[in-house]
Amino acid sequence: MRVGPTADVPALRHLYNRLVPELPEVETLVRILRTGSGGAPPLPGRSIRDVTIGWPGHIARPDAAAFQEAIRGRRIHDVQRRGKYLVFPLGDAAMLIHLKMSGDLTVVRTDSPGGRFEHTRFHLEDGWDLRFADARKFGKVFLLDDPSGVLGALGPEPMADGFTARVLRDRLRRHARALKPLLLDQTFIAGLGNIYADETLHRARLHPLRRSDRLSDDEARRLWRGIRAALRQGLRHNGASIDWVYRGGDFQNHFRVYQRTGEPCPVCGTRIRRIVVGQRGTHYCPSCQPERKR
């Protein structure tokens, strides 16, 4: 089911513990929090009465005590996304949350039993909580007068109208890097991670080790199309669910190469290979994605 502004998405559960959620997974969560789901109300328009901080390390800026004092009484005006960050505009400030490897956000009744990993709980008006569960405790929360101090370093949004094939081509030529690590660099493009980088490169028929500055105009356009097609499909399927139950997404049932080592390529039937690029497991088809330009 495609997620839209008024879509009814299954209730959120836990995040798998191996991968950072990427643009489609974070965007799915943003839409759920913005519109409400499973009986929980939308977040925009609700005020934060208080916050319980069980793990001070969650709070990146300011320190936990100052955060707790400053967040009280703030009204959530919207729920947005920038790259892999959830952005909560609060009038003259903004709260940013990065889920990292094991984070999850749910809206539940304040009197609901607490989960083992719910380290940070935002107590909202009318008896609701926004709870940040994080088994590995890598997630981060920021309260900033100017969020550009964190978000300003991010690269362009790959689904934005202004991110054209020409923009991508020009950015590629300013770097002399292998494609896979470059796509994972959040200062180059915001929101891509291991799953969607592998899926993108397969769609673009480009080897993960091809040099960015050596792509032809046609190859750069194929890469641009591959990025947007992979992300659109991920959004249509509410993202991917791997290992743990996560979001109700089923994009994992539509992977072309990711985690399909030894299985046939859906395009040519060649067995998918796995290599390590920049310390990241990388999946590709040796026939569709030759290392040297043909």
Q: Among the options 84, 131, 180, 256, which is catalytic?
A: 84
CA-to-CA distance for 196 and 191, rounded, in angstroms? 9
List, for residues 68-77, the tens digit of each pLDDT value.
Answer: 999 999 999 9
Q: pLDDT at residue 19 above 70?
A: no
For this structure, is 84 an active site residue?
Answer: yes
Pick the CATH number of 23-149 from 3.20.190.10, 3.30.300.30, 3.30.1950.10, 3.40.800.10: 3.20.190.10
- Residue 50 token pair: 């208080």
For this structure, is 22 an active site residue?
Answer: yes
Please give the model's pTM, rounded to 2 decimal places.
Answer: 0.89
**Minimal CA–CA distance to 24: which of 244, 262, 229, 292?**
229
Q: Among the options 21, 147, 158, 208, which is catalytic?
A: 21
42 vs 21, residue with greater confidence: 42
Predicted local confidence at residue 1, as pLDDT: 22
Name the DSSP letter for residue 37.
B
Domains of the chain by residue range: 23-149, 165-284
Q: pLDDT at residue 155 above 90?
A: yes
Give the CATH class of 165-284.
mainly alpha
Comparing 23-149 with 165-284, is the CATH topology the same? no
Q: Among the options 171, 177, 274, 280, which is catalytic?
A: 280
Beta strands in the chain (DSSP E): 48-53, 59-61, 80-82, 85-89, 94-98, 103-109, 118-124, 128-134, 140-144, 273-277, 280-284
Predicted local confidence at residue 14, as pLDDT: 33
List, for residues 1-10, the tens digit of each pLDDT value.
Answer: 222 333 333 3
